[in-house]
Structure 1
Amino acid sequence: MLQQLPTPLMFKQRGDSSYCLNTAFLSLFGISPDSKKGSEPTDFRFYDPLTKNELTGENCPYQALEKGDVANTWVRLQTPYRSLHCFINGSIVIDGDDEWLVFHIDANNRVTANNGNDSASAQRHIEFNQLLTKFSSKLINANAQDLDVIIAQSLAAFGEFCDVDRCYLFEFSDDFALMSNTHEWVAAGVSPYIDELQNMPTKEMPYLMGYIERGLFKVDDVRRIPDSAIAEREEFQKENICSILCSRVMADGKTHGFIGCDITGSPYTWSASDMEYLKRIGDMLGNTLQNIYNRKAIQTMQQELIEANRQLQKLANIDGLTGIANRRLFNTTLEQDLAQSCRKQGSLSLLLIDVDFFKLYNDQYGHVAGDNVLQRVAEKLVQSCLGTDDLVARYGGEEFAVILPSTNIEQAQEIANRIVENVRCLGIEHKASPHNGVLMVSIGVATQSDNCDESCVELIDRADKALYRAKSTGRGRACA
């Protein structure tokens, strides 16, 4: 009676070690009727579909049924021929003195849909579209950081929905020379191979690549791959692949990689819906990758624009010869610092610096040497001013200026004297200089403290008058 029922059943007598399988079960799992006799209990394994742990001992559904417990649950049922995601419903059937432990197998509807059941096929299309919509909404706004997780979730959902044993994404290197398994989902009881499939030369898989370049690679029975591709056939067989289906993933106008799925254990005839579903998942991933590429390109352009503006601002505010602030940045900074100093009722000092007898230096040593002197003096000025808010600027020609926020007249005079000495210690030869034939500078010092009515022009004018006093009293010194 159990053998003749149209629903898939596996059953055995209580205490017996051998399973009996009815015709519907054999058909569901692709088992030849000639192979059912002599099957051992180890030929069939139950796995928890969530943890992927094998259900053995007391956790085995048959053990639960033997003890009289309820044994109705979702499992991954693995046979020597095929493994499927199933809901098993256990019951005990009494036939005279015999007790039969019976499991009704309610499989994922892939096989039913593929066997021409129009109602099941229509329902399956609806469920797949719902699945696709769910992940499309996630992928639309996915960023690069979220992408790995969402791809992994998509592969898992697709693998479980289509009841395949392995689902994966391969991505090509930029030069198309290598391919790597970047994401992989495997069903319970199936060995993963992602770690072994990294940086594989594409030239070693010409049979596969020829089909991928055209869009689809479909093999119902790996054993039928021609001998001309024996290396690829042996690689698939090493991974226990019996049937394989792969679909190209396009992004940024070129082949980015491919998404694929495998059936292990026994060959499987891929249906039109299998191919359609895989292609649509691949297109969805390709569109997501394309969106990310586009966003990255926009971000790169934005960053380049920011950098270009930064460079333009630098060119507008930095002196091209010395690399320090120019007159424009000096004027802006002095105005801001002076206003801030007044608000805080603090002090601000200004140094105006002139290279002594610079025209004579240029006449004797040449303009190239003169430019070099200005660069060395500018560098020494920066080294001599230690405040983080100090600004050293080229004021014009051989003149420099230093803004010293929060600096009183005594401190400013000390800094100015240090600058004079530091420039002297450079030891730059200047035979026309009266200071032992060494290049020197003169400095005028002015400080704004309590007089907040003083403008930038007035402060500069006082520093300029102080500079004039330094020059008129012998140069090579700082005066306030």
Structure 2
Amino acid sequence: MNTEDLLSILYQMPASILFKKVGEESVYASEGFVELFSLPGNLAEKPLAVSFSTIDFKVKLATNQSPFELCRKGEKVTDWFGIEIDHYTLSCFVQSKKIATPEGTWLVLLVNTDSHQKAEINSTDAHVNKHITFNQLLSQFSSKLINADVHELDDIIDQSLAAFGEFCNVDRCYLFEFSDDETYMSNTHEWVAPEVPPFIDELQNLPTQNMPFFMSHISNGIFKVDNVASIPDVAASERVLFQGQRIFSMLCVRIMAGGKRYGFIGCDIIGHPYSWKPHDVEYLTRIGEMLGNTLQNLYNRKSLQKMHIELLSANKQLERLANIDGLTGIANRRLFDSTLAADLVRCREFEQPISLMLIDVDYFKLYNDSHGHVAGDNVLKKLADTLVLTCLGNDDLVARYGGEEFAIILPNTSCDALESIAQRILGSVESLAIYHRASPFQQKLTVSIGMVCLNNVPSGDGDRSGDPVSATRLVDSADKALYRAKQNGRNCAEF
């Protein structure tokens, strides 16, 4: 048997082997190895560029440490190695055999990806220990997620994906979220192993209609592919998408939240196919359930928060409607009464002055009769805006007291300041130049003002009822001052 015949036999071996002739550098692979490694067909029966590393691919082995060299020296190889061929990587359990033939000595490596895993699964202690470790990991993150607020959630999800990815020795772990109508999906969280390229930025707003094969599976709960190359041709575009990310094996589990499909959690193996084990599916499913429960709680909390905000808004709106005059948009009589009572108590406590104005539109009934009630309403709106702009104090309150009458509360305002403000109001109203054909003041609309000021209200001041400072008495005093202003010819202010 010559070398070509021997090579032909070794090529056709169903077992996964690498082989080379002592004294030569060329390394060849059997059909079984090409299939296991999912190598392109054009690499079959051709010398391969093979390198070896530690199982985690972190340290590349020197030539004298490779399994071929160890076999050549007569050492029996039974260990795990990382194998890289043309950018394809695979963690393999390697056994060696030296074969002597008339044509020379051959070094043969039997490569297997399952030997170690089967040994581990068959080991009861190892399986139990791994299960206990995973439960501890799951419990740790469940506690974090239960107590997390919205701002902490992203970090904890990232930590969960990283812990799961490292624990299960996968290359990429991620979370996808569907749009409300499930027409799009986006990668919201991603963890990748060292030297594995991230894809999160490229996987945003992907149309789900472009992935019918994937969606048909994930909609039913799980998408499990041991070898992406085995995806049928009807889903060729999806297969190409996965292969473009160097994905060889995928496992994805649906996540439910709020009674609907929220998205899915998934993990990938890069560089080589992998047969997903029952515990892989179990662990990922439990992580997905944990995230689903958390997202459900978050959904419930958001719903309650939204209802609370809407209720507060409704209450504020009701309070506003109850305290705001519908025509002018300023405070109404109800808010005026409560504010005056509170301001009197406060000014008494700090012994500060407090002032009050009552303002009446001169000859307003004649204005309505002459110009119409719509015009009268517009006048009241303009006057309300003018009064608000004229009284600039932070604590001042301008209110519609009733009909064509307005009231202004001015806490911590002295008599001199009050009189100055009153004159400013008279000037501002006159500058509006509102035409009033029945007015004796150059046919312009004017107002009359009644003023009252309590300077440095002492704590002992009060009336017979025992009220320290009577709001009724203050309003009555302002009303009498307003009456005097009208008696004195209107368009003026009186104390």
TM-score relative to the length of structure 1: 0.79
Which of 233, 236, 249 is matched with 1:227 structurally?
233
Structure 1 residues 113 and 168: CA distance shift in structure 2, 3 A: farther
Instruction: Single out whichever of 337-346 and 377-386 deviates more from structure 2.
Output: 337-346
Q: Is the 8 A contact 2:50 2:83 kept in 1?
A: no
Q: Which of 384, 389, 397 matches 1:383?
A: 389
Alpha-carbon distance, 1:293 to partner: 1.0
- Alpha-carbon offset, residue 112 of structure 1: 4.5
CA offset digits 1:121-172 (Å, max 9, x no partner): 2332222212111111111122221111111111111111111121111111
Output the amino acid matched with 1:354.
D
CA distance in 2, matches of 1:341, 1:400: 22
Question: Following the alignment from structure 2 to structure 1, what is the Cα–Cα distance between the partners of residues 155 and 475?
Answer: 63
Q: Report the CA distance between 1:287 and its aligned residue.
A: 0.8
Which residue of structure 2 lines up, in the alignment, with residue 470 of structure 1?
485
Worse overlay, 190-199 or 439-448: 190-199
Of residues 346, 351, 372, the one that matches 1:345 is 351
Letter aligned with residue 216 of structure 1: I
1:296 corresponds in structure 2 to 302
User: Aligned partners of 1:299 and 1:108: how far apart in 2?
Assistant: 51
SS at structure 2 position matched to 1:210: helix
1:79 corresponding residue in structure 2 = 83
1:366 to 353, 362, 372: 372
CA distance in 2: counterparts of 1:367 and 1:430, whole angstroms: 13
Change in 2 beyond 3 A, CA 1:114/1:39:
farther
1:479 partnered with 2:485: no
Question: In 2, Cα distance between the equivalents of 1:417 and 1:189?
Answer: 79
CA 1:221–1:470 in structure 2 vs 1: closer, same or farther (change >3 Å)?
same
Relative to structure 1, the CA distance from residue 343 to residue 155 in structure 2 (aligned partners, 3 Å threshold; closer, same or farther) is: same
Kept after mapping to 2: 8 A contact 1:220/1:267? yes
Q: How far apart are the structure 1 equivalents of 2:332 and 2:338?
A: 10
Quote the RMSD (CA, aligned, Å). 3.1
Query: In structure 2, how many angstroms separate the alpha carbons of the residues matched to 1:270 and 1:286?
Result: 22
The code of the aligned residue for 2:176 comes to F
Task: Please say if 1:199 is aligned against 2:205.
Answer: yes
One of 414, 423, 426 as aligned partner of 1:408: 414
Return the offset for 1:367. Answer: 1.5
- Give the Cα separation in 2 of the matches to 1:236 and 1:286: 25
Alpha-carbon deviation of 1:386?
1.2
Equivalent residues in 2 for 1:231-270, closer than 5 Å: 231-270=237-276
CA pair 323-85 structure 1, distance change in 2 beyond 3 A: farther
Q: 1:384 to 1:78 in 2, by over 3 A?
A: farther
Match of 1:398 among 390, 396, 404: 404
Deviation at 1:315, TM superposition (A): 1.1
Residues 9-88 of structure 1 mapped to structure 2, 5 A cutoff: 42-44=51-53, 54-55=58-59, 78-80=82-84
Distance 1:450 1:155, change over 3 A: closer
- Asked if structure 2 preserves the Cα contact closer than 8 Å seen for 1:423 and 1:439, the reply is yes
Which one of the candidate residues 217, 220, 238 is aligned to 1:214? 220
Match of 1:103 in 2: none
Deviations 1:404-450 (A, max 9, x none): 11111111111111111111111111111111111110000110114
Secondary structure of 1:190 counterpart: coil
Amino acid in the other structure paired with 2:474: L
Counterpart position of 2:4? none
Letter in 1 for 2:491: G
User: How far apart are the structure 2 equivalents of 1:110 and 1:369?
Assistant: 93
Does the 8 Å contact 2:54/2:82 carry over to 1? yes
Distance 2:337 2:92 in 1: 76
Match of 1:443 in 2: 449
The answer to whether the 8 Å contact 2:52/2:61 transfers is no
Q: 1:437 to 1:262 in 2, by over 3 A?
A: same
Letter in 1 for 2:481: A
Q: Which runs of 5+ in 2 are unaligned?
A: 1-22, 39-43, 67-79, 94-112, 463-468
Whose radius of gyration is greater, 1 or 2? Answer: 2
Partner SS state of residue 298, structure 1? helix
Quickly say closer, same or farther: Cα 1:85–1:194, change in 2 above 3 A. Answer: farther
2-structure distance, mates of 1:391, 1:421: 20
Quote the Cα distance in structure 2 between the aligned partners of 1:433 and 1:109: 107
- Flag the 1:156–1:288 CA change in 2: closer, same or farther, 3 A: same
1:331 is aligned, of 331, 337, 356, to 337
Q: Deviations over 1:89-117 (max 9, x none)?
A: xxxxxxxxxxxxxxxxxx99992476433
In 2, the alpha carbon distance for the partners of 1:442 and 1:359 equals: 14
- Per the alignment, do residues 122 and 56 of structure 1 end up closer, same or farther by CA in structure 2, a change over 3 Å counting? closer
Please tell me whether the aligned partners of residues 452 and 477 of structure 2 are also in contact (alpha carbons under 8 angstroms): yes
| Secondary structure class of the residue paired with 2:432 | coil
Structure 1 residue 55 displacement after superposition: 4.9
Contact 1:171 1:257 in 2 (8 A): yes
Percent sequence identity is 55
1:125 to 1:182, Cα distance in 2 relative to 1, 3 A: same
| Residues 82 and 112 of structure 1: CA distance in aligned 2, closer, same or farther (over 3 Å) | farther
Give the C-alpha shift of residue 244 in structure 1: 0.9
169-178 vs 438-447, greater mean Cα deviation: 169-178
Return the match for 2:362 from 343, 356, 365: 356
Compute the displacement of 1:31 (Å): 7.4
Q: How far 1:174 moved relative to its partner?
A: 2.0
Q: What is the DSSP-based 3-state SS (H/G/I as helix, E as strand, rest coil) of the residue aligned with 2:308?
A: helix
Give, in whole Å, the separation in 2 of the partners of 1:263 and 1:207.
19
Unaligned runs of 5+ in 1: 1-15, 21-25, 49-53, 63-75, 87-106
Contact 2:53 2:60 (8 Å CA) reproduced? no
